[in-house]
Structures are given as C-alpha cells and as structure tokens.
Amino acid sequence: MKLTPHVLYKILMNEFGNQNWWPIDQTYHKKNHSDPRFEVIVGAILTQNTAWTNVEKSLNKLKSKNMLEIQKTAESDIETLQNLVRSSGFFNQKASRIKKLAQHLHQNYHDDLDEFFDNDLHELRVELLSLRGIGPETADSILLYAGNLPIFVVDAYTKRICERLPLDTLNSYNDVQKYFETDLNRKYPEKELMRIYNELHALIVVLAKNYCKKKPACYICPLQNHCKFKNKLSK
C-alpha cells in the first residue's frame, strides 16, 4: 500500500487517537469574557522556535495580567509585554509581533475576530503574511486553529517525515502543503477538511516528538514498515 497523506492520517489516528488541538484555557475566557481565539493567535506567535512548555509559561503570565485581549495588548507598554513573554525566548521580537498584530485587529476590525475570520481564506492569508514576523506556518496556524478554516499547517516535523519516509513531495512549504491538501481533498468532503487538517498536523507532531526524532526510534515507530529511512539505518 502506497503511503499518502490519507494513509498516513489513518495509521496515525489508529495509533494515537484524536489530539483535540489547540489547547485553550476556556475557564479563563469565560471568567474574563474574552475571546479564546486571541489566545490561539498569541500562542501561534509565541511558539516560534521554542517548546510549548515555554509558551504555556508566557500565556499564564499574560493571563495573570488580563492581557489576552486585543485592545489591552494593542495599547500595552511594549516593555511590559516583553517581560510577560520572556520565557518563550526571542521575547523582544515576539512582543513586537504580538502587539503589531493586536493593533492591526484593533484598528481594522475593532477587536472583532468574527469579522476578521469572515474574510476569504486566501485574502486573509495574504493579509497575515504582510505583517512583520508572520510567516506561513504562523499564519496557517492562526487560520486553522483560531479561525477554523481549512488549511494544512506545515512545520519542521512535517518536512522531516516527508523526507524520511519519503512522501512524493518537494521540500518547500508550499509544495508540501499543496501535496497534503490535494490528496486529502480527494478523500474527504469539504466540510470535514478543517478537522482532518487539524488532527493530522497534531498527529505528525506526536509522531515526530516520540518516534521520528532527530535520533529516530525506528524500530518502535508505527510507520516502520513504510519508512525507507529505517532501511538506510539498518545497512
């Protein structure tokens, strides 16, 4: 059986089950009457080049100051914001990116994320990419996990797995994304794609963190019968 994104999804789902991403503190947002989607947006920037455990520390500090609101973040003192997100690393850059995105949402959408995400998916992606410090992975994470829009997120883990298995795709972000979306579009109705993209990205992260690591654990990996990289290691 040829390994395709659809087959990959089936194998990983059977192995790991639903991941239910993105983790959001719903209790906090109910208590503070804030929009949980902004927490996802902030988290997507904070997770650049760092582990999620560091992101959680920054998010908790932001919550302690009730800073997970668009207007408060847009109007915040940049030094205060830098100190709150320090644990995520590159805190000067990340604080600036978060503040500028919050200002964009405040000035252009009056803090209304329904209005923001109601735009055309392609146009929204172009808009996000036009903002300093927002690259394809961050933009697509915002669109998928905060906007519930059908777009597949490609990260370093996805590229690693594509290269090692290998899958029939090239290495550029757009090539990998197009390959996954094209195959999954053939297999699932449009209304299910957002859920599939969400779960597959999360499942790939689980696979890469636990098995397909930099030093891989090939002989216990659920994909070992499909992986050519394992064969290279055994020679």
Q: Both tokens of residue 140? A: 């697509």
Residue 86 exposed, middle or buried by CB count within 10 Å (0-12, 13-18, 19+)? middle
The predicted pLDDT at position 54 comes to: 97
Taking residue 117's Cβ as centre, other Cβ atoms within 10 Å add up to 17
The predicted pLDDT at position 231 comes to: 65
Three-state DSSP class for 192? Answer: helix
Taking residue 60's Cβ as centre, other Cβ atoms within 10 Å add up to 13
Which DSSP helix (H) or strand (E) runs through 56? helix 52-64
Residues of the chain predicted below pLDDT 50: none
pLDDT tens digit string along 151-172?
Answer: 999 999 999 999 999 888 777 9
The predicted pLDDT at position 199 comes to: 97
- Domain at 34-146, CATH class: mainly alpha
Label each residue of 201-219 as H, E or C: HHHHHHHHHHCCCCCCCHH
Which DSSP helix (H) or strand (E) runs through 39? helix 36-46
Whole-number Cα distances in Å, 101 to 48, 63, 121, 215: 15, 18, 17, 37
The predicted pLDDT at position 228 comes to: 84
The predicted pLDDT at position 91 comes to: 97
> The CATH number of 5-20+152-234 is which of 3.40.980.10, 3.40.50.300, 1.10.1670.10, 1.10.287.950?
1.10.1670.10
Phi then psi dihedrals of residue 217, to 5 deg? -105, 70
Taking residue 219's Cβ as centre, other Cβ atoms within 10 Å add up to 10
Decide: pTM greater than 0.85: yes
Question: Taking the domains of the chain in order of start, what are their residue ranges?
Answer: 5-20+152-234, 34-146
- In this chain, the answer to whether the domains covering 5-20+152-234 and 34-146 adopt an identical fold is no
Whole-number Cα distances in Å, 200 to 5, 70, 119, 227: 9, 30, 25, 18
The predicted pLDDT at position 233 comes to: 61
The predicted pLDDT at position 234 comes to: 56
